[in-house]
Amino acid sequence: MMLAILHLLAMFVADLFKSRRRLEAENLFLRHQLRIALRRAPARLRLRGCDRALLVWITRIWPNLLDLSQVVKPETILRWHRAGFKAFWRWKSQHRAGRPKIDRELRDLIRQMSKENPLWGAPRIHGELLKLGFDAAESTVSKYMVKHRGPPSQTWRTFVCTENLIRRRFRFLASKIPVPAPKFPVPPK
């Protein structure tokens, strides 16, 4: 596409130095060649994107050339121009939406802190980041934290196993300690 535009500009500059009669003869010759080509062409020509862009660009600079269009209808060129304008502004406006992204360093630091300290939550990591001088919201910290597979607290199974171990140790210790006799009389059964 760029080469086509550069070629067109070079031809335009070269035409500035030609006589008016030569330009009229060249124009007549090119129009005749165009009529011959259009007679042999299929019903619908397949144009490349660079051809469309070039036609839109030329008719944007010289709007009176729209009426001279032979290959495509003037309405088609205007439709291409509108579509290009619409695509440009859609592209231009899509980059401004949403929160600004945080640096990769900060994301990696959040992940590292949450991996190394699995019991720390987002508020704790957020506080540590503030102490280090990083300014990020707590919701951003929770978004980039590593999700741990296990539950945050002990499971019931762990609780029951720990409780049984404590009871067994207590029974063992209780059996080794001598129990003193009561100081008050115990009634017989």
For the stretch 92-125, pLDDT in tens is 877 666 677 888 999 999 999 999 988 889 999 9
In angstroms, what CA-CA distances link 132 with 115, 128, 129, 167? 18, 6, 5, 45
Structure tokens at 162: 């720990």
**More confident position, 140 or 151:** 140
pLDDT at 113: 93
Check if the beta carbon of residue 52 is closer than 8 Å to that of residue 80. Answer: yes
The whole-number average pLDDT for the span 74-101 is 81
Check if the beta carbon of residue 145 is closer than 8 Å to that of residue 125. Answer: yes
Taking only the tens place, the pLDDT of each residue in 131-148 is 999 988 999 999 999 887
Tell whether the model's pLDDT for residue 7 goes beyond 90.
Answer: no
Tell whether the model's pLDDT for residue 129 goes beyond 90.
Answer: yes
